[in-house]
Structure 1
Amino acid sequence: MLRPVGLHQVLTRTVHTITVPDPAGGAAVWAVETRTTEDHEARLYRDGQRTGTAEMPATFTVPGGRIEVDAGFYGVTRVHLVTPDGRERRLAPAPGTLEYRRAVLTRDHPRVSRGIAVTAVVILLVNLVLAVPEGLELLTSAPQVAERFGTFTSPVDLPGWLGWTLTASGVVAAVERAVTWRHNRVVDAETIWTAL
């Protein structure tokens, strides 16, 4: 039985739903649940009853097409109904989920929503700029690389508290981008390593 998403689960559980007509003339509500605290799998529900489980990336056959699901380190990256003619419809976040709460904020307070989105991009870009010299220093500290190319010392020396603050804010910014389905190869490059 599919239970509603509780406030204590908003960072660990997602549910997305879609209503699909069935061949008998009625309609069924299909839901996909993922949990970040468990195995990398998706669960499919029809009208609240579980009908299947699959490892991600997952594909579930439903009347009228298939539901494709995938997730990364920061959340769901794909949850779409794909019809036989190739059209796609993204499933809607269920009430109670972080994605749903973020969508409500966007609807009710568009200026605040835009401000949060811009802040997330700025944080990720700052982290990216600061990560490049530190990454080069780490790379050139390997003996094989140092012998061939020499070593590099980063000109950026952040105090420990600032480094941790930037890391934590980067994680929050990445989650913000994930729940609003925004992605850019440059902006989100700093978070790619966590998905490997």
Structure 2
Amino acid sequence: MFEDMRSRRAARRITPGDGRPLKRFRWWQLPYRSLFYLPLPDGDGGKAVYAVDVGRGQDQTSAKAKADLYLDGRHHARSRLPAAFPVPGGTVEVRLSNFGLRRCHYVTVEGTEQLLVPDRDSAEGRRAHLDRAHPALSRWIGAVSLTVLVVALVMLGTQLAEQVTEVPAVAERVGAFTAPVHPPAWGNVVLTLVTLAASTERALRLRYSRLLDGAVG
């Protein structure tokens, strides 16, 4: 029942496409554009290629936040985000995070999920190419990103705990807590910058954790 309600809401967000051609990805669009592809059987023994074109940095809570679906290079549909485009055999789900894409997956009617293929020239495509060409380096970068977010979450948690226990009523009940680390102002700035970089790197791989990435965003 819940899935049916969600599908109906998603369908109401979709409008027909206007048939315009899909523009190729340009290098200057790296900071703000994501482009993914999904080839599917067309029923006649060939392949139909769907493409999802979405701008990063949109406020997903805004009615202006949109994703576009193309079919064989022509504009097929548009939807407000989060989007769920019906395609043969399932649905293409698109959702943003504060740092990029949170989801761009093909979900079949059986419930299996498949990440769409990023355009080779896009930021996501370049990150995927690095993973294929240099898997060890890719794993190391991913581990560093995860470590940065864990450290940032722990530091944020301890600082919040210290602030909460400074309230006299709370201190009387649970006692005072002192954060083990008090970085200087410049240290907080550096931590913020590397945390943003780590979350952006994870978004390029469409990795999202509500605890880690959501806490940062």
Q: What band does the TM-score fall into relative to the shorter chain?
A: 0.7 to 0.9
Cα RMSD (Å) of the superposition?
Answer: 2.3
Gaps of 5+ in 2: 1-20, 59-63
How far the C-alpha of 1:166 sits from its partner, in A, is 0.7
**2:106 counterpart residue number:** 81
**1:2 counterpart residue number:** 22
Residue 89 of structure 1 aligns to a residue whose secondary structure is strand
The answer (yes or no) to whether the contact 1:44–1:50 under 8 Å persists in 2 is: yes
Q: 1:163 to 1:82 in 2, by over 3 A?
A: same
**1:26 counterpart residue number:** 46
Letter in 2 for 1:85: E
Residue 95 of structure 1 aligns to a residue whose secondary structure is coil
**1:127 counterpart residue number:** 152
How far the C-alpha of 1:21 sits from its partner, in A, is 1.5
Q: Distance in 2 between matches of 1:161 and 1:11?
A: 26
Confirm whether residue 167 of structure 1 aligns to residue 192 of structure 2.
yes
Gaps of 5+ in 1: none
**1:68 counterpart residue number:** 93
Q: Distance in 1 between matches of 2:29 and 2:121?
A: 9
When normalised by structure 1's length, the TM-score is 0.83
**1:193 counterpart residue number:** 215
Query: Within 5 A, what are the aligned runs for 1:102-181?
Result: 102-139=127-164, 146-150=167-171, 154-181=179-206
Letter in 2 for 1:191: D
Q: Which moved more, 1:121-130 or 1:161-170?
A: 121-130
* Residues matched between the structures, number: 188
Q: Deviations over 1:39-63 (max 9, x none)?
A: 4321111122111111222111123
Q: Distance in 2 between matches of 1:5 and 1:139?
A: 48
